[in-house]
A and B are shown apart, each in its own frame.
Chain A
């Protein structure tokens, strides 16, 4: 950490230092996971297959989170992401089946955007409470999807009242030499080297084009919202709409656009779920991923890089439970235990005795649980992503700062 801190930096030392720190944390995480793999003999926790599954599980969450980012940066809380995602899965099912992969993506985006526009109409135009509108949209979307699914898919070959026929898969790309070489290296089981190779392999071999699209959207959003005047204006609507209004910004229009875009991205997340993560539309396919996306965005401190990290975390816990779940989640328990014990020591060093004691107790309990069992029952692995969300929010939420006017009602002319 010190080398990075001492490195000569020109204009923004703190930001460069923060970026550097993230890489060190990631490296530490990889070392920890690698060590756990060797100690706990849980081969699957860093296998290329798991990491690829983690990416596939993470991207829909990240797209929902991206939707949340657009909406909340403009000051509108969007709990209707779940509903917009549901609409997206339906759009992908219909347009994807009839007109092909890319039409599916566009159709999903449009369906999601319709949901977003509805939310914008209720919250921005009519000033309804954001949560209330979001909850209502989730109810409507679930109803519309399950009703239209029957109308649209019931007669099709391979389709049924609750699911679409299987959809075409988006093309995948690989970097030819690199993916073979890393796959070979990943199989050797060497400490750290193989894990790193598996990571590179997961990112270079058979990556869906939809994943690339999502990544471009996430980083493009970072550029658009933080490096352009459009972005500055949009964010000013979320921080201080009265000030924005006094500078001549049409706050209502910015908010409306942002919330509609929010639905668009959530809809694309739905398309990813229906066409990449599984082979078609199903009722109830989203399974709360819109909400998890919201949590990932909060965890990511309302920033693109942060929400991607958060989504990967949830995607990973989701993937780990699916691939030899009991064993993998059991091994993760060891990481949690060690991390909590280390945190307890750090808290003690900082003088926070109560927090230290609490972390220590939980950490030791996790360690005892790890040592006294061989595997974790399926029901517990099923709750891993949700428990991880709660724990992470509980640990991180005090350092987070949401947009200052997020969730507040805005009416034109408040600037006086």
Chain B
């Protein structure tokens, strides 16, 4: 009975949030003079196999981004800079891979390591500012995002060459490419070969967090910094490590696309993945499986919204409202559920304590 109630409560929050988000989205649509029915018809229709593969591709990238954010969130460290770290790392990786220092897939592996290092470096700047100068990582990572955009644009102009309208880096050698997995026979698009990175990162994250001392320290610091300090955790070191780890994961975000589709870094790099990752992490409560669910929901909404303009004459931007409201509602709903659960537990505990007390009073 108790387990059932707990499970029910855990499920209540996300379901409630999705319902409220649907309601708010519909209201916004009505306010703008669009038809909510046409919107939901498009969004809830069964995706074609091409779209299904697209959802999985997007989800794998969003998952990596969500993990990167979650590493920090788990210890109350707000790495808003996943966006910048991903950009710097992807650029560094594209330039490194194009040099072809190593043969074949060795180069791919080396490039992934370079990307992780570059992401960690960019995140490390914020970590250093935080532990030595006390600068809030929220502000510094946001500033580093903006700096990353300009710096990479500058370096791209030096290192890249004009191809059509856009500047791109040299194409990476063909032997490094990771071909897609033809998941569905009738789909033109294929699943990213390196989507496997998302699975690997998720498993590693889970093990690291739940089965290692580092993970324990990380979670302890997140729950109560003073308690962590009292039990011998070096919080400053933890800040640096988790920030580096977060940046390293952020470095992976660009890899599936770099080795699978684009094969070079261009000024058309997809922006906003880092911020979406934050939302996905919040949606999934920073839990490896939860983030996966969050990434799938976000990717589903994003891909399904694409034909909105053609099919329902609604601007696809509306989906950002849905996504944002889902996130806000989820965090509110979890909070409400948490308070309710606390109240119930307090009541149960009080009842359990009262019972023997009453009997002893009678005896004496």
The answer to whether B133 and A398 have CB atoms under 8 Å apart is yes
The answer to whether A387 and B147 have CB atoms under 8 Å apart is yes
Chain A residues with CB below 8 A from B143, complex form: 291, 295, 386-387, 389-390
The interface bits of chain B over 152-179 (1 if a CB of A lies within 8 angstroms of the residue's CB, else 0) are 0110010000000000000000000000
Q: Does B80 contact A (CB under 8 A)?
A: yes
12 example contacts (A-B, Cβ-Cβ < 8 A) are as follows A135-B80, A135-B278, A140-B320, A143-B320, A146-B320, A147-B318, A148-B28, A152-B32, A295-B139, A390-B140, A390-B147, A393-B140
Cβ of A281 to closest chain B Cβ, rounded Å: 14
> Which of B32, B133, B331 sits near A129, CB closer than 8 Å?
B331
Q: Does B48 contact A (CB under 8 A)?
A: no
**Bound-state Cα–Cα, A204 to B145, Å:** 37
In residues 115-164 of chain B, which contact A (Cβ within 8 Å)? Answer: 129, 133-136, 138-140, 142-147, 150-151, 153-154, 157
The answer to whether B317 and A147 have CB atoms under 8 Å apart is yes
Interface stretch among A324-332, A335-343, A374-382?
Answer: A374-382
**Bound-state Cα–Cα, A137 to B282, Å:** 13
The answer to whether A140 and B135 have CB atoms under 8 Å apart is no
Question: Which size class do B's interface residues fall under?
Answer: 35 or more
Chain A residues with CB below 8 A from B153, complex form: 379
The answer to whether B279 and A389 have CB atoms under 8 Å apart is no
**Bound-state Cα–Cα, A84 to B312, Å:** 29
Residues of A within 8 A of B (CB): 79, 118, 122, 126-129, 131-133, 135-144, 146-148, 150-152, 161, 288, 291, 294-295, 298, 377, 379-380, 382-383, 386-387, 389-390, 393-395, 397-398
The answer to whether B78 and A151 have CB atoms under 8 Å apart is no
The answer to whether B142 and A288 have CB atoms under 8 Å apart is yes
**Bound-state Cα–Cα, A148 to B278, Å:** 24
Q: Does B328 contact A (CB under 8 A)?
A: yes
7 new A-B contacts at CB < 8 Å, known A137-B324, A386-B143, A393-B135: A142-B324, A143-B323, A294-B139, A389-B143, A390-B144, A397-B135, A398-B133
> Which of B129, B154, B319, B335 sits near A143, CB closer than 8 Å?
B319
**Closest Cβ neighbor of B278 among chain A residues:** A135
**Bound-state Cα–Cα, A395 to B132, Å:** 11
> Which of A139, A148, A382, A383 sits near B324, CB closer than 8 Å?
A139
Cβ of B260 to closest chain A Cβ, rounded Å: 27
Q: Does B34 contact A (CB under 8 A)?
A: yes
The answer to whether A151 and B139 have CB atoms under 8 Å apart is no
> Which of A131, A144, A288 sits near B78, CB closer than 8 Å?
A131
**Closest Cβ neighbor of A384 among chain B residues:** B150
Q: Does B275 contact A (CB under 8 A)?
A: yes
The interface bits of chain B over 312-345 (1 if a CB of A lies within 8 angstroms of the residue's CB, else 0) are 0001011111111101100110011001000000
The answer to whether A383 and B150 have CB atoms under 8 Å apart is yes
Cβ of A304 to closest chain B Cβ, rounded Å: 19
**Bound-state Cα–Cα, A72 to B57, Å:** 40
Cβ of A292 to closest chain B Cβ, rounded Å: 8
Q: Does B33 contact A (CB under 8 A)?
A: yes
The answer to whether A126 and B320 have CB atoms under 8 Å apart is no
**Bound-state Cα–Cα, A181 to B139, Å:** 42
The interface bits of chain B over 70-106 (1 if a CB of A lies within 8 angstroms of the residue's CB, else 0) are 0000000010100000000000000000000000000
Chain A residues with CB below 8 A from B136, complex form: 298, 397
**Bound-state Cα–Cα, A383 to B80, Å:** 18
Residues of B within 8 A of A (CB): 28, 32-34, 78, 80, 129, 133-136, 138-140, 142-147, 150-151, 153-154, 157, 275, 278-279, 282, 315, 317-325, 327-328, 331-332, 335-336, 339
The answer to whether B320 and A383 have CB atoms under 8 Å apart is no
> Which of A144, A389, A393 sits near B321, CB closer than 8 Å?
A144
Check A136/B328 contact, CB under 8 A, given A127-B335, A390-B140: yes
**Bound-state Cα–Cα, A377 to B153, Å:** 11
Chain B residues with CB below 8 A from A152, complex form: 32
The answer to whether B129 and A146 have CB atoms under 8 Å apart is no
> Which of A122, A133, A139, A395 sits near B323, CB closer than 8 Å?
A139
**Bound-state Cα–Cα, A290 to B315, Å:** 26
The answer to whether B154 and A379 have CB atoms under 8 Å apart is yes
Chain B residues with CB below 8 A from A142, complex form: 320, 324
> Which of A137, A147, A379 sits near B320, CB closer than 8 Å?
A147
The answer to whether A380 and B279 have CB atoms under 8 Å apart is no
The answer to whether B332 and A135 have CB atoms under 8 Å apart is no
**Bound-state Cα–Cα, A397 to B133, Å:** 7
The answer to whether B138 and A79 have CB atoms under 8 Å apart is yes
**Closest Cβ neighbor of A146 among chain B residues:** B317
Chain A residues with CB below 8 A from B323, complex form: 139, 143
Cβ of A353 to closest chain B Cβ, rounded Å: 16
Chain A residues with CB below 8 A from B135, complex form: 390, 393-394, 397
Check A139/B332 contact, CB under 8 A, given A150-B317, A390-B140: no
> Which of B146, B150, B315, B317 sits near A288, CB closer than 8 Å?
B146
Check A383/B146 contact, CB under 8 A, given A139-B279, A147-B318, A151-B33: yes
Cβ of B246 to closest chain A Cβ, rounded Å: 15
Check A140/B328 contact, CB under 8 A, given A147-B28, A148-B32: yes
The answer to whether B332 and A122 have CB atoms under 8 Å apart is yes
Cβ of A231 to closest chain B Cβ, rounded Å: 25
**Closest Cβ neighbor of B146 among chain A residues:** A386
**Bound-state Cα–Cα, A291 to B321, Å:** 21
Chain B residues with CB below 8 A from A387, complex form: 143, 147
The answer to whether B147 and A386 have CB atoms under 8 Å apart is yes
Chain A residues with CB below 8 A from B331, complex form: 122, 128-129, 132-133, 136
**Closest Cβ neighbor of A385 among chain B residues:** B146
Chain B residues with CB below 8 A from A150, complex form: 315, 317
